[in-house]
Structure formats: C-alpha cells, structure tokens
C-alpha cells in the first residue's frame, strides 16, 4: 500500500525505519498501532515497566512498536504470542487500562481494477496509460486510508479486568549440572536432584 509523505516525513516514523532497516507496510502498521494505543491509554514511552505490550505476531510491525513504546524483551515488558495475528494489546500498569488493536481485514481488500493492473504490470503487459492508472488508484487508496488516522486501521477492543503479566522476574544464575553453563535459576529443571538447563534437556 502507498505510504504518504505525511507519514514518512514524521521524525518518529523515520526512527522506526532506521531501527528496522527499510520502509514497509508492516513497520507502518506497527507505527500506527503504537501511536493510537499510546493516545488512547494516555501513556508515555516506557522507561522501565510502566507499559506492557503483547503482540500476536513476530512480523515487521513489532519493531516499530518497540521503538515507540519502549517495551522490549530486555525490559521484560514485551510479550509475544505465536498466534499469527496482526493484533496488539497495550496496557498501563498504573491505570490498569488495556486495549487490544486488531488490524481490520478490509485493509488488505484491493479493488479488482487495481489487482488487474498490478498483474499486467508484473507480467510486463501494461500500457503506459495503464501504469499511470494503476499509480493513481494505488496512491489514492493509500492517501484516503491514512487521511482517516490510525483508527481507520484497527478494530479497537478495551479489555476490562485485564490481568497484567507479572513484572520481569529476577533470579540468581547457577550452573547446569550437565554443561556447567550459568543459567537463570528459575529456568532450570530438577532431574533426580540435578539442576539441568533446557538445552541439555533437549
């Protein structure tokens, strides 16, 4: 989808792109989700664990969400559920408020004429007029969608009585009985009185 200059020129968007490595619709979706959620929750970028995010995909969008929210694996406030869905839950610890954003399915509904022209261009079978027509339709669809703001991208679901994940655990590291490597104590398994790491269990 065409990403308007009004989005691409934003400083925080450029920061997301620099972190991710290239411009793509996936990063843009994450950018839109994070901007919308932070506004809805009235939250600022997390310094520590004030904010949490649960993502249900491991796609490009996750990079933008980490950059804008300050939620990361390292801090322990960024959680991944392997559901394969473009869905993201954001929650504030102080307010106990949470909102889940699900990408609207119609975002990917491409008009038949645009599809046909795209296929002709891909097959090197489009006339110059058809290429111009495609570009006009493609740009117009992107401009129209983005002009409506981030709300146009997502179904918004407020999560009442949301149980926030516990804060990142802290535990000492001890050696695995088999390999001898230091492991976070809570990640070891007791096997007949011997503490074994997950790698050695496998």
55: nearest Cα among 68, 42, 44, 43: 68
Question: How do residues 112-148 score in pLDDT, each as one tens digit?
Answer: 999 999 999 999 999 999 999 999 998 888 888 888 8
What's the whole-model pTM score? Answer: 0.82
**Over 90: is that where the pLDDT of 191 sits?**
yes
Angle at 139 between CA 102 and CA 13, to 5 degrees: 55
Which residue ranges does the chain devote to CATH 3.30.1330.130? Answer: 5-108+137-158
Cα 10 from Cα 17, distance rounded (Å) = 11
Which residue ranges does the chain devote to CATH 3.30.60.20? Answer: 169-202
Provide the pairing of β-strand 78-80 with 87-92: unpaired
pLDDT at res. 145: 87
**Over 90: is that where the pLDDT of 106 sits?**
no
pLDDT at res. 12: 95
Tokens for 177, please give them. Answer: 């009985």
CATH of 169-202, picked from 3.30.60.20, 2.70.150.10, 3.40.50.300, 1.10.10.10, is 3.30.60.20
**Over 90: is that where the pLDDT of 50 sits?**
yes
**Over 90: is that where the pLDDT of 86 sits?**
yes
CATH of 5-108+137-158, picked from 1.20.58.220, 3.40.47.10, 3.40.50.10860, 3.30.1330.130, is 3.30.1330.130
Question: What band does 37 get if pLDDT is binned at 50, 70 and 90?
Answer: very high
pLDDT at res. 167: 83
Question: How do residues 140-184 score in pLDDT, each as one tens digit?
Answer: 888 888 888 999 999 999 998 888 888 877 889 999 999 999 999
Helices and strands of the chain, counted as H and E runs: 7, 9
């Amino acid at each position: 989808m065409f990403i308007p200059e009004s989005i691409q020129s934003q400083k925080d968007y450029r920061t997301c792109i620099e972190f991710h490595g290239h411009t793509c619709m996936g990063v843009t979706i994450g950018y839109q989700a994070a901007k919308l959620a932070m506004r809805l929750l009235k939250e600022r970028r997390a310094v520590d664990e004030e904010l949490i995010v649960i993502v249900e995909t491991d796609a490009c969008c996750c990079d933008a969400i980490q950059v804008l929210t300050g939620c990361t694996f390292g801090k322990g406030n960024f959680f991944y559920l392997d559901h394969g869905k473009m869905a993201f839950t954001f929650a504030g610890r102080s307010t106990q408020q949470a909102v889940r954003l699900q990408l609207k399915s119609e975002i990917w509904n491409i008009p038949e004429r645009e599809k046909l022209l795209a296929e002709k261009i891909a097959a090197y079978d489009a006339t110059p007029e058809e290429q111009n027509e495609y570009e006009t339709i493609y740009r117009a669809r992107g401009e129209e969608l983005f002009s409506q703001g981030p709300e146009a991208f997502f179904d918004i679901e407020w999560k009442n009585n949301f149980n926030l994940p516990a804060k990142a655990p802290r535990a000492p590291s001890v050696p695995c009985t088999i390999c001898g490597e230091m492991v976070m104590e809570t990640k070891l398994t007791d096997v007949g009185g011997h503490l074994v790491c997950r790698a050695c269990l496998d």
